[in-house]
Amino acid sequence: MVMATGISARRASTLWIMLLTIASTLGTLALACATPFTALAALAATQMRLRDGVLLMLASWVASQAVGFCVLGYPHTTSTFLWGIALGMAAVVGVIAARFAAKRFGRNRPLFGIATAFLAATLAFQGVILLWAFGLGGVATTLSPAINATQLARNGAILIVLMLLYRGLVALGMPAAGKRRLAT
């Protein structure tokens, strides 16, 4: 399918995956390792095909790991590598949960859909991290109300900025991400 802009839906999705990965990488650099996976998951769940959302999560995860190991000096330990895998798994599970919530609750209510997608992504992401924390340590940190409140607020703010950026660029003529209806 070719859009009014002359760009195919596939190319538009690829462009958005690249742009959002760059945005999340800049966020990772600015926030010193706080990739906004749940914000990206909610945006992807409501604006992209599921496959593209998963690709976005994987691309953002790879970029996050590259920044962490190459720029921020993550230690090269087994625990660090395993936590990296945990984050990647949590990011993918988060976008799948967000997509399910958006399909279930947001068909004709876009704001409610994005809110439920964000909540579902957050709960799924944190659930996967908690499961990994039982094996790797860090359960108390994972369950910390202060840390979770900070992450929720930060990711919520980032989601608002990403949605405004997305809507603004689409309004200026950039093709949408090639999303199919939430029924797919």
pLDDT in tens, 53-106: 999 999 999 998 998 888 888 899 999 999 999 999 999 999 999 999 999 887
Q: Give the domain extent around 81.
A: 9-171
Residue 179 is assigned to a structural domain of this protein:
no
Looking at residues 139-164, what average pLDDT do you find?
92
Residue 2 confidence (pLDDT) above 90: no
Residue 181 is assigned to a structural domain of this protein:
no
Give residue 105's pLDDT.
Answer: 85
Residue 112 is assigned to a structural domain of this protein:
yes
- Separation between Cα atoms, residue 42 and residue 163, nearest integer Å: 10
Give residue 168's pLDDT.
Answer: 92
Residue 1 is assigned to a structural domain of this protein:
no
Residue 6 confidence (pLDDT) above 90: no
pLDDT in tens, 117-128: 999 999 999 999
Domain count, the chain: 1
Contact assessment for residue 78 and residue 84, using Cβ atoms and an 8 Å cutoff: no
Mean of the per-residue pLDDT values of the chain: 88
Residue 134 is assigned to a structural domain of this protein:
yes
pLDDT in tens, 8-30: 777 888 888 998 889 888 877 87
- Separation between Cα atoms, residue 123 and residue 84, nearest integer Å: 19
Give residue 147's pLDDT.
Answer: 92
Residue 107 confidence (pLDDT) above 90: no
Residue 183 confidence (pLDDT) above 50: no
DSSP collapsed to 3 states, the chain: CECCCCCEHHHHHHHHHHHHHHHHHHHHHHCCCCCCHHHHHHHHHHHCCHHHHHHHHHHHHHHHHHHHHHCCCCCCCHHHHHHHHHHHHHHHHHHHHHHHHHHHHCCCCHHHHHHHHHHHHHHHHHHHHHHHHHHHCCHHHHCCHHHHHHHHHHHHHHHHHHHHHHHHHHHCCCCCCCCCCCCC
Give residue 153's pLDDT.
Answer: 93
Give the residue among 152, 177, 181, 154 at the shortest CA–CA distance from 165: 177
Compare 130 and 107 and report the one with higher pLDDT: 130
Tell me how far the alpha carbon of residue 60 is from its chain's centroid: 8
Residue 19 is assigned to a structural domain of this protein:
yes
- Separation between Cα atoms, residue 159 and residue 40, nearest integer Å: 7
Give residue 53's pLDDT.
Answer: 94
Give residue 3's pLDDT.
Answer: 45
Residue 184 is assigned to a structural domain of this protein:
no
Residue 176 is assigned to a structural domain of this protein:
no
